[in-house]
Amino acid sequence: MNEAKTINIEVAYALPEQQVIIPLQVNVGTTIVQAIELSGVLEQFNEIDLASSKIGIFGKAEKPDTELREKDRVEIYRPLIADPKESRRKRAEKKKAQAENK
């Protein structure tokens, strides 16, 4: 009997009000995109578009065809709502204005 070796991984997706982590057991050689499809997260969250969504493992961006290893956590990232540089600039301006008014 020739059994395929398996690994344990997780697929994670988060919204502001809800976070989901789906544990899976997959065959060695499974890619990020295959794990996402197997997890059922695409059916659970229709707004996920794998063609435009950034994906990664433990906070590090990875290509969809990256093969997974034991205990990897696949993450699907949502787009940023605000530009981080613009947000920092606005906070700095506000802080400067508050300091001048004192």
Q: Dihedral of CA 43/46/51/52: which sign?
A: negative
Give me the DSSP letters along 17-32.
TEEEEEEEEEETT-BH
| Domains of the chain from N-terminus onward | 6-100 (3.10.20.280)
Closest CA to 36 of 70, 65, 5, 6: 65
Name the pTM for this structure: 0.75
| Coil vs helix vs strand at 53 | coil
Instruction: Tell me the pLDDT of the chain (102 aa) as tens digits.
Output: 456 799 999 999 999 899 999 999 999 999 999 999 999 999 999 889 888 899 999 999 999 999 999 999 999 998 777 677 887 888 888 888 888 876
57's tokens: 């493992």
62's tokens: 């990875």
